Amino acid sequence: MSGLETQAAGMSLYRNMLRWQLMATAAVTIAAFALAGINAALSALMGGISVVIGAWFAARIAAKGQLKTDPTAVLLNLLKAEAVKILIIAIILFVVFKLFHALVPFALIAGLAAAALFSGAALAKSQANV
């Protein structure tokens, strides 16, 4: 596989992961709305979206380093991507806690957890299809 094909395959993998995260977030948001109303739905949505936004930025960073072959460079790139993802999620959640006074914590955690869990499931499923 050439460098461009490898990069395109990686971006396809990341798009698939983001799609699964968005679907999981939507499902939890709908369930939260049905069970506890609009504030719970918004809380679940914000939890899930924080993970999706963090993962999107991490995917961009990881994609830039896909052509590297040095193990140290690859590891550093992945660690940088993960650190950026965690930082972005933390910043978004901090803002949500400060600005959204009708927050439903359980719904926020459910949205966050669903998006995080489904990112792993999407990657595992994509790897199994390769």
Alpha-carbon dihedral sign for residues 92, 98, 100, 104? positive
pLDDT digits (tens, 9 = 90+) for 69-94: 788 888 898 899 999 999 999 999 99
What range does the domain containing 57 cover? 3-129
The total of structural domains in the chain comes to 1
Rounded Cα distance between 25 and 48, Å, is 5
Return d(Cα 55, Cα 87) in angstroms, integer.
11
Q: How confident is the model at residue 23 (pLDDT cuts 50, 70, 90)?
A: very high
Please state, rounded to an integer, the average pLDDT across all residues of the chain.
Answer: 86
Q: What is the pTM of this model?
A: 0.82
Cα-only R_g, the chain: 16
Which phi and psi (to 5°) does residue 98 adopt?
A: -75, -35
